[in-house]
Structures are given as structure tokens and as C-alpha cells.
Structure 1
């Protein structure tokens, strides 16, 4: 192989490495420090983001787990929620910050708890002014509320999952290489996962505490 060909090959490899690094840097900048690889972004559907501590950033939408409570009694405007003797309630307080230039739709049924055996627990229909319900969060604003789950009394280690579907978070693709396929203009589906153990759970006699 001629020296000129070797130089051409070396230059081509350097250009390809530079382009690849630029694409990864751009996508990491968009998704934040979530440990997502380029393969994750292109191939996985939905994209799974493990929260760093209590915070997970999905594009320009931030999810923050503020508090987790455990109680045997949940008081609502219409009376106490019912449970069996071998059950308890887990209450999660969550803040969602919408820095998009459009509304962000949230539904309390997009959240669930899953234990280490894969058993899934969906939120109770908790009708209270503090509850996360079905809501369009206005652009550049935040929404905060609680979710109530009925779980086994001995469940102290689990995952809280948000599974957003058809969320349409826009991705600015103008700086993404044309060689990268299947990165659309909108992020459609995503899972945000918080790991929760007993050290994070505050035990209280009743929720709300000051009603």
C-alpha cells in the first residue's frame, strides 16, 4: 500500500472518530448524565434512565423524587383508604419540572412500583389536592404531587418506575450526523427508574400528617 494511501486511510479514520465523538457528546448533552450510550438511544424502546440519586433528567424535563413515606393510614376528603392487615401504603412525593417550550402531559397511571420478583403495584385512585392526577404541565413550569401505593407490609426494597408513552420530547437533530440512523425528531417512550430501600422510607402514623 502506497504512503499516500496510508495517509488517506489514517485521515479518514481520524475524521470518523471525530464525528462519532461529536455525536455521542451531543446526545449526552441532551440527555444529561444518565449513562446512556449511543446504542441505548438508537436501539432501545423505551429508553431506560436510572435516576442519579433522586433526580432523573429526560431532555428538558426533570423528575425529582422528593420523599417516600410508609403508613398504615391514608386519610382522603371522602374517608380512609382501605387495606388488609398484611398491607401498608407507600406514598411517593414527586416534582416534575417542564423546561420545554410546550406542555408536558403527565398521568398518575404512568407510575408503578415493582418488587425484586417482578410483581407490579399500580397507584391507588387518591383524590386529594396533593395528588398527582392527569395534567398538562405548562411550559417552563413545575408540578408537584404524591402517589399512593398499596403494597405488602414487609416490602421495604423496590423500584419506582415512570413509564412515559408518546411523550413527544423534541430532540434538536441539526447537529446529529446524517450517518446516525433512527434518531427521530422526538423521543417517544422512556422509563425512569428510582431504586428505593428502607433507609429512604420515612415511617409516619398517618398521611397527610396535618389534616
Structure 2
């Protein structure tokens, strides 16, 4: 098992790129009422570290991020009509080509895969082996099969994630370990016209499950 460094992916209404090929940055918005970030914040994760759409979080001191242990990424196809996270604008065309697809960051999802807890002193062991669907965000109404072609992997598939963690709970403490999906985040540019000759300035993003984010703490 190998721990990897995390680069946070956060999205607001507008996606901000610090530079080409660097992580996507998003500031969680605040205001009257309860935000999606607050609604979807996992236990042990500050709401301020959750993306505005409530789907991702940046790991903190309680998070151990691990890529798959062994070959667990074989994809199982889903329907090509899978819904995008961000709706495309009305009146756009389906005829786009995705170019310059590349990896930009990693991100922890907020969908809980598995959990264990117990009274210390004890060692909590959590082994995870699940299938997780890839997800897509897009600024134009482009067919998902063209996104798959442009990024070089199927965005309409589920992927296996597999890893394990051990957490020592001190005597007299109550310990918890939670598992969330780890995603590689890819970005591509949408081009229109015959042979994809016209840049649109619009982008697509896809999240490929590649491992597990473990939150573990004692209280």
C-alpha cells in the first residue's frame, strides 16, 4: 500500500485554474442558509474543506489517502446517458471534440463507502473493496462517448477501489474510521466545427476512482 500526496479539487460556479496543469481550486461559498458543503460534510471533516457542490473534500490531519493496492481499476460500463454534475447551457450542440485531455488533480469524494468504530484501547482495521462510478462535469452539451475518447478512458464506467488502513485507538477513547473514494481528476477542452477546428473556451472534467481516502480519529 502506498500513501500519496493530495492535491485538492474544489469547484464553485466558475472553475479557477491557477496555471496550466495545476490543481483546480474552489472556494466554498457562504451566506444565508445551509450550504451544500455543510449538508454533505463527512464526520471528522470541516465543512470549510468541502467543495461548494458537496461532492468532494480536501483531506485534513485525520485523512490518510491511498491509491489502489493491486489491480482494482477494471471498469464496468454504465449507460452513456449518465447525467453530468453540471448541466450544459441550453441551446448548445452535441457535436464537439474533446482535445488536450490531461490529469489535473486528485480529490476525495464525500460518498461514504464503509465505516468501523470501537472503544479503545484497540486497533481498528478497515479493508475496502468497492466499485465506484466515474463522474463528469461539463460546460457544453457534449456526448459522454466523446469525453471518453478525448480523455483516453471510459467516463461511463465503474472502477474498483481497494485498500486497507489500521488505526490505533488509545485507551478510554472512542475511535472511528471511515472510507471515501479517491478520484483522479481529468480536464479536456471542447472544440467545435468540422474536425474539431474551432476552440470554444469551454471545458469538461471527469473523476476516475483510483483509491480510498480514510478518515480516522479518536475522541
Question: What is the TM-score when the length of structure 2 is the normalising length?
Answer: 0.29
**Bigger fraction of residues in helix:** 1
Question: What is the TM-score when the length of structure 1 is the normalising length?
Answer: 0.30
Determine which structure has more spread, i.e. the larger CA radius of gyration.
1
